[in-house]
Structure 1
Amino acid sequence: MTLSPARRRRIDRLVAGGIALVVLAVAAVVYLTSDVRATDATTVPRGTVPAEPTAVPSTLSEKWSVATDPAVGAVASPYGVVVTGQGTAAIAYDARTGERRWSYDRGDEPLCAIGSGDTDAPGVTARGKVRGVMVVSNKNGYCSQVMLLDPATGERHYYRTSPNQPGGALAFGGPYAGWLGPTLVELWRDDLVRTIQYGDEPAPPKPNATHTGCTFTDMIIDDQQFATVEHCAGSPNAQVVLNWTTPDSAPDKPDDQDVFKHTPRATIDTGSTAARLVGITSDRVAVLVSDPEPAVVRYDTAGREVGRTPVDVPATSIVDADRLGDGDRTRPTPAVRDGSTRFSVVGDTLLAVMQESATVQTTPTSTATRPTTEPPTPGVLASDTATTPVTERVEDLTVGWTRAGVLGLPAVIGDQVLLPVSGGLAPVAAGNGNPGIVPTLIPVDRGGATGRVDVAAVGPTIVEIRGDRVVGLS
């Protein structure tokens, strides 16, 4: 039977209407279950960035106080805000007044972490570093939702999803940020594109790509390489493993080396039961070891020891710092970077490690230094194959000073380091820590609060992060 044109048009309209209803229903379901609907974000106009502080205050009193989740902490940003974690929300406050500025709330997803690598405030669109406040939320058992926010406005900048393990932490260094999990590490460049995944990969795309049997307890990142401290089955000693930050771009890389499958630059047996990472450059890594005595050991990119400096850091503090925390949580060594100096806190000791250019002589590996188990080349004497020492310029590391009795991370103001200590803040010279001198104390009334205190300077305000409270002083 042939349908009339009018009837065909009526049936076509009914079919089209049915399709439209199905599309609308699917769209409604997607929206109702989407991250967009579950996200409540409040942004503000861009304000004035405070000037960098240049002088240590002589007196301080509390101006404001807000709560934060102690498991998440808080971020004091040079853009003039302090970002706290409260439930599922990251909330920013004006560092000078304590007034609420912006918020970002994934209402159905608990916060895993907030962090930032910002040391200046050129704007989040400036390339070369991971800029902004990073908020990591938990979804489906992973700390997978990674959002980079503009500290000045709260606007979303970049976003990615990764299989980040719970119990991990953010790390920043060079032009990278990353997540240190108990058995899995990822690094991301400034637009949050992944450059390497290392460890117990959940879905390895190639055979023999995973690195299993080891627990990661520390990580430190530089432009070309990053290091991890690992405790592996069958070994009593802490290992330090050096990897390229971007394996695809590594020189002389194997053809099958990429983001997921890669050969470490070096695997180092520290000979110590515990180790913490306190400095890194493109040529060196500085490792604080507990055995046979506390010392900072410097290794080159081949894993060879090139220097060892005993330090006044209790061995028990190093061992305690190298353990997983409650709930098998792993954390990088707390540190702040100012110019060429990295200030790390281990236990109640502050350790300053400085980067400097140095000229060194090295002897390249040759057949003269082959293992004794390898037979010599017939007719060739070892003396004939020995290579001439090579002079090269490297970015080296040196131990500057240590200072005991600190409560947490310091603030750096000009050429002074403001140490959080019992009863207040103690300024010392950034260059040498004022050895043998008792610094003048700037009293701070902490109202009986005990525990760790991290300090930061944001414009004219000194910010103290005290566990579950963040306090503005001026």
Structure 2
Amino acid sequence: MLVVALAASAVVLWQTGDLAATTRVPAAEPGAVQEPPLQFPPSLAETWRADSPMTPVPVVAGAVVATGMGGEVLGRDPLTGEVKWRYARDRALCTVAPFDTAPPQRTDSGTVLALYASDGGALPDGDPYAKGGCSEVTGLDGTSGKVERTRNSDAEFGTRLLSDGSTVTTTGRRLLTSWRSDLVMTSQYGTRPTPVQFRSNLRHGCTFGSVAVTPGKIGVIERCPEDNGADRLTVYRSQSPSGKDNDDVEVVSSTVVGARARIVALTDTHTAVALSDPARLRVYTSAGIALADYPLDEPGLGEPANTDPPGATVLTTTGPEGVYWFTGSRTVALSPADLRPMWTIQTTLGPGVVQAGRLVVPIQNGLAVQDEVTGANVGVIPVDRGGYTGPITMSVTGEIVLEQRGPTLVALR
């Protein structure tokens, strides 16, 4: 009902160029940012749900929770799901994400990034981007829904947007692109869709398997012709050196790691990579030196060993006491100091989220509440998901716990 009321005051812009056929309906008045609870609630029940297939992770930005479907992004009241603002285009959405670290728990207005599809333009048929991609991004103020900035860039279909708090990076099989918060490009790594100067210091003809970010750095699993079937872990800086082109990046380290690798987590000092046959987690130093191997009693790491994760991103969440990794069937807590495994929760549905000093992990028919440091179970909160048993990503805003169940976003309180 509110959408109809807001639509009456919508400003519809019909113009040529990238913003043709755009509908903007800003919030009538700013909402309140939810205050985080001091204690975890004893019970949770569903308060609202919405179709949102374009948000792989629940999107919290200031006073709203954003949902995305078709060509439309909606800013919703976290408590009720009521639509507060709307932004829509006549193009398909590729993905919607917060410009923040994961999980997003900002107390300011935040920014919602809406990435839209584009066609291949005048690119020749032989170009890998000739069929188009996801190149038109809009930054929306989370509280008001007003457009902060826009830009055209290069990203592939199926991309995810990974934010480290100051830079956001698009994932892809051939190209990774990073922007600052003002959407000014800071670096590009891989095969660009237009001819550029040859960089003799970088490898060429590589494809990418998985990506992770940390402030100032990006880690990627590469597959390059010269490595004879082995995977390579490369870490580079998200900001190209001053005075150089965006694709002239500074590589921090590059190391051959073996076949069927997945980058799990990246910090300023360490990188964790999951390897198969046998299943193990290997931790590397910032210089690319193997530090330690930790056995993982899980053939294929919970998913087909010969596939890369959806969106080239392993499911993790970060809290004050650790990095929490969903392998596909269990959640593993990694030390924030050196990324060594600390403890494991069996038979989970996702990495979980931290709220009120506890790690809340989705399990069959409920949420397991765990001590962040020891992994000890504090309790289980029943949740009726109506038969849904697939992977779940989560976020929180105030007392609201959000679950992304496939194409559906569900709010619990």
Instruction: Give the TM-score, by structure 2 length.
Output: 0.85
How far residue 441 of structure 1 moved from its aligned partner, in angstroms, is 2.1
Q: Do the aligned residues in 2 keep the contact of 1:173 with 1:220 (CA within 8 Å)?
A: no
* 1:218 corresponds to 2:185: no
Distance in 1, matches of 2:69 and 2:401, equals: 21
User: Which of the two has greater helix per residue?
Assistant: 1
Q: Do the aligned residues in 2 keep the contact of 1:217 with 1:322 (CA within 8 Å)?
A: no
Q: Secondary structure, in 3 states, of the residue corresponding to 1:270?
A: strand
* 1:179 corresponds to 2:170: yes
Q: Do the aligned residues in 2 keep the contact of 1:336 with 1:343 (CA within 8 Å)?
A: yes
Cα separation, partners in 2 of 1:431 and 1:75, compared to 1, 3 Å? same
How far residue 132 of structure 1 moved from its aligned partner, in angstroms, is 1.4
Q: Secondary structure, in 3 states, of the residue corresponding to 1:440?
A: strand
| Of 77-86 and 443-452, the range deviating more from structure 2 | 77-86
Distance in 2, matches of 1:191 and 1:400, equals: 38
2:231 to 235, 238, 245: 238
2:256 corresponds in structure 1 to 269
* 1:110 corresponds to 2:95: no
Q: Secondary structure, in 3 states, of the residue corresponding to 2:335?
A: strand
How far residue 263 of structure 1 moved from its aligned partner, in angstroms, is 5.3
Q: Indicate the RMSD between aligned Cα atoms, in angstroms.
A: 2.4
How far residue 184 of structure 1 moved from its aligned partner, in angstroms, is 0.4
Q: Secondary structure, in 3 states, of the residue corresponding to 1:316?
A: helix
Q: Do the aligned residues in 2 keep the contact of 1:142 with 1:163 (CA within 8 Å)?
A: yes
Q: Do the aligned residues in 2 keep the contact of 1:76 with 1:463 (CA within 8 Å)?
A: no
Distance in 2, matches of 1:445 and 1:123, equals: 32
Distance in 2, matches of 1:148 and 1:91, equals: 13
Distance in 1, matches of 2:57 and 2:145, equals: 15
- Return structure 1 stretches of 4+ with deviation > 4 angstroms: none
Cα separation, partners in 2 of 1:144 and 1:38, compared to 1, 3 Å? same
How far residue 409 of structure 1 moved from its aligned partner, in angstroms, is 3.3
Distance in 2, matches of 1:345 and 1:55, equals: 25
Distance in 1, matches of 2:162 and 2:223, equals: 19
Q: Secondary structure, in 3 states, of the residue corresponding to 2:326?
A: strand
Q: Do the aligned residues in 2 keep the contact of 1:350 with 1:406 (CA within 8 Å)?
A: yes
* 1:143 corresponds to 2:126: no
How far residue 352 of structure 1 moved from its aligned partner, in angstroms, is 1.8
Cα separation, partners in 2 of 1:318 and 1:63, compared to 1, 3 Å? closer
1:62 to 46, 58, 65: 46
Q: Do the aligned residues in 1 keep the contact of 2:279 with 2:301 (CA within 8 Å)?
A: no
Contiguous gaps of at least 5 residues in structure 1: 1-29, 125-130, 250-255, 357-395
How many residues are treated as equivalent by the alignment?
383
Distance in 2, matches of 1:61 and 1:338, equals: 24
1:248 corresponds in structure 2 to 241
Describe how 1:43-442 pairs up with structure 2 within 5 A: 43-44=26-27, 45-69=29-53, 72-73=55-56, 75-77=58-60, 79-106=62-89, 108-116=90-98, 117-118=100-101, 119-124=104-109, 131-140=110-119, 141-208=132-199, 211-233=203-225, 235-248=228-241, 258-262=245-249, 264-271=251-258, 273-291=259-277, 293-312=278-297, 314-317=298-301, 320=304, 323-324=307-308, 330-339=311-320, 341-356=322-337, 396-434=338-376, 440-442=379-381
Cα separation, partners in 2 of 1:174 and 1:51, compared to 1, 3 Å? closer
Cα separation, partners in 2 of 1:310 and 1:236, compared to 1, 3 Å? same
Q: Do the aligned residues in 1 keep the contact of 2:401 with 2:411 (CA within 8 Å)?
A: yes
Distance in 1, matches of 2:61 and 2:344, equals: 26
How far residue 81 of structure 1 moved from its aligned partner, in angstroms, is 2.2
Cα separation, partners in 2 of 1:294 and 1:190, compared to 1, 3 Å? same
The one-character-per-residue Cα deviations of 1:139-159 (angstroms, maximum 9, x if unpaired) are: 222200111111111111232
Distance in 1, matches of 2:411 and 2:163, equals: 25
User: Which of the two has greater strand per residue?
Assistant: 2
Distance in 1, matches of 2:283 and 2:49, equals: 42
Identity of aligned residues (%): 27
The one-character-per-residue Cα deviations of 1:173-214 (angstroms, maximum 9, x if unpaired) are: 252111011110011122211111000122243123674332
Instruction: Give the TM-score, by structure 1 length.
Output: 0.75
Letter in 2 for 1:51: E
Q: Do the aligned residues in 2 keep the contact of 1:78 with 1:459 (CA within 8 Å)?
A: no
How far residue 163 of structure 1 moved from its aligned partner, in angstroms, is 1.5
How far residue 322 of structure 1 moved from its aligned partner, in angstroms, is 6.4
Q: Secondary structure, in 3 states, of the residue corresponding to 2:385?
A: coil
2:4 corresponds in structure 1 to none
The one-character-per-residue Cα deviations of 1:223-265 (angstroms, maximum 9, x if unpaired) are: 232110123346333221111222305xxxxxx9542124522
Q: Do the aligned residues in 2 keep the contact of 1:295 with 1:310 (CA within 8 Å)?
A: yes
